Structure 1
């Protein structure tokens, strides 16, 4: 019995070492993402900006003025993870979001400068 328990503990320890640790998201600015999309493509990122949640227009912008004046290229399309409690993240606020950056996905009609997919964490500035 002791041999089986020891073997199971050894196997669990080896599996824990072999599994890659989840990397924390990289802090990056919207300007960096827009200027160098290939550099961040497919990476987990954390970015801050003006968050908008509306039909065919969920996005995060550099500034509120970019949203107000329809400068969509100064923003990124955003999608929230379906099971995320962050689906309630308030709109029309400055916020920080975490998700996977996808350079080629440009949102509805391809109007934005990329997208942040499967946002699982969102914190709104006060």
Structure 2
């Protein structure tokens, strides 16, 4: 049987994540430009490698940008989301997640991805849409890659 995390331990973990997030926010998004996609002719980054903490803490910095992000995948009716931690999913802490707008070809894109497990996603982030009837940090749209992260 899996031991449940104590509230104190969870709060310490959340505080550590926020400290890391604040540290990341002092670094410009440009410094996290991914090598997965080449830069545009004008020098603009093709895709940013970001953490869930960065998206949650500073969503405006990535508005309309293509991102590569790792989190816990949850696909369910009116609850498609990527969570920071498995504990956030279990406790339904929607503020520690971003909504997912699944494309019509999601089954093909996500065939290797297991629900409720850590995955790497590529998509376009927007803070303008927050998901279905919940408050989230934003949404990942135009998803074109889902890979297991072990």
Short-chain TM bin: 0.7 to 0.9
User: How many angstroms does 1:118 deviate by?
Assistant: 1.6
User: How many angstroms does 1:87 deviate by?
Assistant: 4.4
The two structures have a TM-score, normalised by structure 1, of 0.77
Residue of structure 2 equivalent to 1:105: 129
Check whether the contact 1:72–1:111 (CA below 8 A) recurs between aligned residues: yes
Residue-by-residue CA offset, 1:91-124 (whole Å, 9 max, x unaligned): 1110010000011110001421100002110001
Larger Rg: 1
User: How many angstroms does 1:64 deviate by?
Assistant: 0.3
Given candidates 88, 95, 100, the residue that maps to 1:66 is 88
Supply the distance in 1 between the matched residues of 2:134 and 2:41 (Cα, whole angstroms). 34
Given candidates 73, 79, 95, the residue that maps to 2:101 is 79
Query: Which structure features the higher share of strand residues?
Result: 1
**Runs of 5+ in structure 2 lacking a partner?**
1-39
**Runs of 5+ in structure 1 lacking a partner?**
1-18
Supply the distance in 1 between the matched residues of 2:75 and 2:123 (Cα, whole angstroms). 16
Given candidates 72, 78, 82, the residue that maps to 1:50 is 72
The two structures have a TM-score, normalised by structure 2, of 0.66
Supply the distance in 2 between the matched residues of 1:24 and 1:94 (Cα, whole angstroms). 24
Residue of structure 1 equivalent to 2:32: none
Supply the distance in 1 between the matched residues of 2:100 and 2:116 (Cα, whole angstroms). 14
Task: Give the paired residue count.
Answer: 108
Residue of structure 1 equivalent to 2:139: 115
Supply the distance in 1 between the matched residues of 2:105 and 2:117 (Cα, whole angstroms). 22
- Secondary structure at 1:96 match in 2: strand
